[in-house]
Amino acid sequence: MTLFQRLVVMTMAILFLALAGNISSGVWSVKEHLNRQLNINAEDAARSLAISMNTALRENDQASLETLLNAMFDGGDYQSIRVFSVNGRLLIEKKSEAIMSDVPSWFKSLIEFKSVTAESEVTDGWQQYGRIFVEPNSEKSYGKLWSITSKMVVWVVLLMGAALIMIIFFMKTLLKPLSDMEHQANAISNRDFQTIPLPKARELRRVVMVMNGMAEKLSKLFSDQAEMTEQLREMSFRDSLTGLSNRRDFVAHFKSYLDPRQGSKSGAMILVGIRAFDKFNQEHGTTKGDELLVQLSNQIKVMRRDHSKIITARLKGAEFGIFIPDVSREHALQALKKLFKDLSMLPAVHGKSDMSDKLHLGLAYYSETSKIPSTGDLISLADQALRRAQGRGRNTVIMLSTSEAIESDGVMGDQAWRGYLEKVLERRAVKLLYQPVKHFGVASTSDYEVLARTDYKDSLVTASLFWPMVERYQWTEQFDQLIITKAMSLMVSQTHDLRLTINVSPKSLLSKKFADWLLKVAQENPAVSKRVILEVSEYALHQDAESIIALSQSLSAYGMKLAIDHFGASSGTFSYLNRVQVDHLKVDRSYIRDVHLSKDNQFYIRSLIQIAHNLDIKVYAEGVEKDEEYEVLKALGLDGAIGYLFGKPLAEPH
């Protein structure tokens, strides 16, 4: 029972006791008054009859006695009137008939009238002729008292109802600061460091001031810690001038996409170079040169609108690197031409000349029809393409591939892709695989990550290959709905406590139609929903954090949780962590690959774990392939990991 309920009950109990006492006192007073009135009326009737019957008794006139008795009996409330002779013989008697009463018997037993039979002697001088006994009738008095009591109870009930309304209003007003403090405490536990208005009551005002101060300190502590970690990451992995990744960060992310088992099946590496940049600096100064580099980097950043997984970096001097994973050859070439057009239109020196005679772009492409190249091979091929472009003179773009046999995207053309994916949707032919999630310190697991595959010519097509086409044709919502529905159907049929992590496209989560569908599914399947975790890339939170935060709060009401995938892959602050309700973060595999050899990555992961654990958020690693990586990650304090080291994707979860 809450404090508010206790106070209301206690106040109403005191009020009830007071009113009950008042009713009891009032009823008792009325009862005593009616009781006295009955006895007085009986005594008056006895004396009056004694006077009026004097002559009739002296003359033994029976008819007169009956007339006088009837007149008195009918004019009052009497139980009986009896007249006796002087020697005790009953001369005449009259009794009232039993009447039906609306007064409950329990009330009569509780409120009992103590009436006294009145007695009077009939005399003439010193001569006595008889005795008269009058017994009052209390039935009408019971009726009057019952009526008065009923009305008093009705008024008390009405008064109690009005008092209850007033007490509730008063208590809510009085206790609102306590309710606000409770909500504030819950919000703090959910990593929302909000403050509340100061109440007028001095005692509560002081407590609220302390709570607000604590919330502000916690918020500042988290912000400072997150900012410091972000600054350290920027210093280690970002180019300070352009804000793009540096060469070290670029290569780390790049390597993770070239992993033979979990990497991208296709990709394009673009190198952008500025001809004679040293001469440009000598003629215009390093300040103008820096301005030019910033202009170029800002235009390169625009490519993220069309390619959410793109990696961009300033490699050295006036050379930039761009890697687009999971892209077809045709779209890679389109991106290359568009980038060249956009960059060539930039003013080199405040609009005095354009960049068309200074730009060179080289592109290296690979697909699943050729062996996935090593990091060095692909960079070397892209560098070779760039050098060829520079060797051919101004305004040159060169594209090379790891296999001259590539046609379109290596599997099928755009129209073939569209028809293929339409059939997949129509037949609901998405196949789900389940990769186990390793919880550090736990022997077995019932947690799996869902991986989507499609069948093509007796082989499985990975999501890294078909999903870019799904996004191109804007079918992400339909595919995400299909995957979630199939995964939850499996969970319904499973007898054990299976928990599934399902990756969801940012475009789907940011769609109101999809969000409404998701909330409806969670509401209709609460038992299953609490065992579902939806993973969204960090990129989505940088796009529209408020929408994701609102959705996470709505889903949490039904037990469905969100998690952040590829954490650290996108640049930007992660101060949103104290507001979004997530189950875990999954550190991007670019930080995990060879983590035992990188002190900087270890420091970043350790700092991230400290921040996340302070917010009750678990931290997992993705793409763990080596025992050395596992040992270091476990020592750093991660909660778990996923990767081929712990198990390959399965057709059915164990």
Q: Kindly report the number of other CB atoms within 10 A of residue 76's CB atom.
A: 16
pLDDT grade, residue 369 (50/70/90)?
Answer: low
CB neighbours of residue 174 within 10 Å: 14
Do residue 316 and residue 378 come from a single domain?
A: yes
Residue 167 in domain: no
**Residues 128-138, mean pLDDT to the nearest whole number:** 86
Asked if 273 and 360 touch (Cβ cutoff 8 Å), the reply is: yes
Q: 564-588: per-residue pLDDT in tens?
A: 998 887 766 666 777 788 899 999 8
Answer whether residue 653 shows pLDDT above 80: yes
Query: Is residue 620, in this structure, part of any structural domain at all?
Result: yes
Per-residue pLDDT band for 187 (boundaries 50, 70, 90) equals: confident
Residue 275: left (phi > 0), alpha (psi -120 to 50), or beta?
A: beta
Residue 292 domain flag: yes
Who has greater pLDDT, 324 or 374?
324
Residue 582: give its domain's CATH number: 3.20.20.450
Tokens of 230: 């972000």
Q: Which two tokens stand for residue 306?
A: 């069309």
DSSP reduced 3-state for 40: helix
190 pLDDT more than 70: no
Residue 205 lies in a domain: no
Sequence-distant (≥ 6) Cβ neighbours of residue 83 within 8 angstroms? 49, 53, 57, 65, 69, 90, 91, 92, 93, 130, 131, 132
Distance CA 97, CA 79 (A): 8
Tell me how many domains the chain contains: 3
Q: What pLDDT is recorded for position 350?
A: 41
**Domain harbouring 349, CATH code:** 3.30.70.270
Average pLDDT in the 589-602 region? Answer: 89
Let me know: does 580 contact 552? Beta carbons within 8 Å.
yes
Residue 184 included in any domain: no
Q: What's the confidence (pLDDT) of residue 79?
A: 82
Domain identity same for 550 and 592: yes
| SS (HEC) of 496-539 | CCCEEEEECCHHHHCCHHHHHHHHHHHHHCHHHHCCEEEEEEHH
Domain assignment present for residue 386? The answer is: yes
Amino acid at 410: G
In the structure, what pLDDT confidence band is assigned to residue 349 with cuts at 50, 70 and 90? very low
Are 381 and 454 in a shared domain?
A: no
Last residue of a domain, one of 134, 161, 188: 161
Q: At what angle do helices 512-524 and 476-493 cross, to 10 degrees?
A: 10
Residue 36 domain flag: yes
Contacts of 602 (CB under 8 A, 6+ apart): 595, 632, 636
What is the reported pLDDT for 453?
93
Residue 640's pLDDT band (cuts 50, 70, 90): very high
Res 370 pLDDT > 70: no
Least confidently predicted of 122-126, 336-340, 451-455: 122-126
Q: Are residues 137 and 75 in the same domain?
A: yes
- Which whole number is the average pLDDT over 378-392? 77
Say yes or no: 483 and 382 in one domain. Answer: no
In this prediction, residue 572 carries a pLDDT of: 61
Q: List strand residue ranges (DSSP E) for 280-381, in order.
A: 311-316, 319-325, 359-366
The pair of structure tokens assigned to 505 is 């496209």
Residue 262 pLDDT grade (very low, low, confident, very high; cuts 50, 70, 90)? low
DSSP code, position 136: E
Q: Three-class SS of residue 118?
A: strand
Do residues 68 and 109 make contact, with C-beta atoms less than 8 angstroms apart? Answer: no
**Taking Cα atoms as reference points, which of 635, 589, 647, 570 lies closest to residue 609?**
635
Tokens describing residue 210: 């302390």
The predicted model gives 436-454 an average pLDDT of 89
Q: Which of 104, 133, 161 is the last residue of a domain?
A: 161
Tokens 């180019």, residue?
A: 239
Same domain, 499 and 393: no
Question: Does the pLDDT of residue 407 top 60, yes or no?
Answer: no
Q: Domain range holding 33?
A: 3-161
Examine the domain organization and report whether 488 and 347 are in the same domain.
no
Pair 320, 455 in one domain: no
Burial class (CB in 10 A: 0-12, 13-18, 19+), 475: buried
Domain boundary among 161, 187, 221: 161
Cα–Cα distance between 591 and 491 in angstroms, integer?
A: 32
Q: Say yes or no to pLDDT of 234 above 70.
A: yes
Burial of 17 (C-beta count, 10 Å sphere; 0-12/13-18/19+): exposed
Rg of the chain (C-alpha set)? 47
* Same domain as 138, residue 262: no
Cα 646 to Cα 17: distance, rounded to the nearest angstrom: 70
Residue 521 has pLDDT above 90, yes or no: yes
Q: Are residues 488 and 628 in the same domain?
A: yes
Does any domain span residue 296? yes
Mean pLDDT score, 113-118: 80
* Calpha distance 651→432 (Å, rounded): 7
> Where are the strands (E) in 86-192, listed by range?
90-95, 118-124, 127-136
For residues 438 and 568, membership in a common domain is answered with yes
Fill in the amino acid letter for 216: E
| Averaged pLDDT, 269-283 | 83
Looking at the fold, whether 346 and 439 belong to one and the same domain comes out as: no
